[in-house]
Structure 1
Amino acid sequence: MVDCGVTCAKYSVFLFNLLFALTGIAILTVGAVIFSAFNHYENFLGEDLWSAPVILMIIGGIVFIIAFLGCCGAIKESSCMVLTFSLLLIVIILFEIGIGTFGYVRQDDLNNALDKGFNQTLNNYQANQKEWDLVQTELKCCGVNSPDDFTPKVLNGSAFPRSCCLTLKIDEPCTKKDATQKGCKTSLLNYLSSQSTILAGVAVAVGLIQIVGLGYACCLYRAFRKNYEAV
């Protein structure tokens, strides 16, 4: 018969893994929201940066599955399932540490990636005018660094982008003088940096939950094995 200590550990693991499963859903949701809300910025972000929300969704799904396995193992008092859960949790923790380290090391590449994305689309402005109008309207910005980026060569005879002059009336022509002076690269960079800070906080919280859950799972595994051997 399972003693009180095993019972407490069992339900503690279950509760921690239930919370862990919810964090997995939260991570998946965050990735999905970022993907759906900013998929029109793909041309400016580049493929490497745009893979981030996809990775978040994959990690969220994996976390949920692992947490579900841990809950089942605790309730069914299966030492095999608890051990499998513990090993998978160690792998996911190491993977998250690796992803976090990689992201920290390459954070300076974000500015370079945005530079490349914005300049490439600006050099072919006529083909990317719709994307530029969208980003300038949503972020209330103009050009890569300023309205000066819209040179006659870039515009190729076209009028100055109306999306740069959101404060003017529709019938008023948009000129460089009236345009928003804030560049779009800085606006997008600031937004991504703020979101990265939020994600880092979420990652730390999830990591602490994972470590505590792993400790409980190891204790539960030993308790299950002792009770199994005592039978």
Structure 2
Amino acid sequence: MGACGVSCVKYLVFVFNLLFALTGLTILCVGAIIQSSYHHYSTFVGASFWSAPILMIVVGAVVFVIAFLGCCGALKENSCMVLTFCILLLVIFLCELGIGIAGYIKNAQIEDILETGFNKTMAEYNNNKEAWRLVQTELHCCGINGPADYIQVYPNGTLPNSCCVKFEQHSDTCTQENAIKKGCLPILLEFFKSRALILGGVGIGIAVIQA
């Protein structure tokens, strides 16, 4: 009976570690998805915004490795490996909590970060033409808050072609009249806020589950 009890506990710990490994993969995948969503617009947000998703990828990979060691320790009944696993589990819990908090902090800061990035790149437009072309083409927007922002760049009233979905007949020039009226700041702001909330929710949610 005692041997059966020990065996049950061993396999219970194994299953727990297996689930733990799956949470590690979840963290890694969410971090990678958010990172891939962000990198298109890195010119506008700067390097500081990447810390949370990158940390998420690293923590997810570490969680998976630790869980694998936990599985091995449970099956081999290695008390040293299991103890090491428990200590590392506490460290990972704190990291996940930190990721969640960072996500919510970034959500609160993103408007200021984006506004600063947009104003800076518009003032230095000649060095950031490709970044603006990409964001305007993908999000179907024009300028920071609208096409009027380009007056400081093009005083003659013309606009980049990426500001126009289609040109008027017999015209191949994008102007204030035929340009997209929506600015890029409100659209990208909503995009980043939703990703930051996902980041925070996943980090804190998984930390609570593991606790």
Match of 2:136 in 1: 136
- How many angstroms does 1:2 deviate by? 5.6
Distance 2:142 2:210 in 1: 44
TM-score (norm 2): 0.87
Match of 2:51 in 1: 51
- The residue identity in structure 2 corresponding to 1:44 is F
CA RMSD of aligned residues (A): 2.4
Where structure 2 has 5 or more consecutive residues not aligned to the other structure, the ranges are none
Contact 2:21 2:63 in 1 (8 A): yes
The reply on whether 1:84 has 2:84 as its aligned counterpart is: yes
Task: Find the residue that maps to 1:150 and give its secondary structure.
Answer: helix
Match of 1:227 in 2: none
- The residue identity in structure 1 corresponding to 2:159 is F
Distance 2:168 2:38 in 1: 28
Match of 1:35 in 2: 35
Match of 2:183 in 1: 183
Q: 1:95 to 1:58 in 2, by over 3 A?
A: same
- The residue identity in structure 2 corresponding to 1:24 is G
Q: 1:13 to 1:182 in 2, by over 3 A?
A: farther
Distance 2:52 2:66 in 1: 21
1:119-166 CA distance string (max 9 Å, x none): 111101111111101011111111112222111x22366840111111
Paired residues in the alignment total 210
Task: Find the residue that maps to 1:178 and give its secondary structure.
Answer: coil
- How many angstroms does 1:29 deviate by? 2.8
1:18-41 CA distance string (max 9 Å, x none): 222122223223333333444231
Q: Percent identity?
A: 50
- How many angstroms does 1:106 deviate by? 4.7
Match of 1:16 in 2: 16
TM-score (norm 1): 0.80
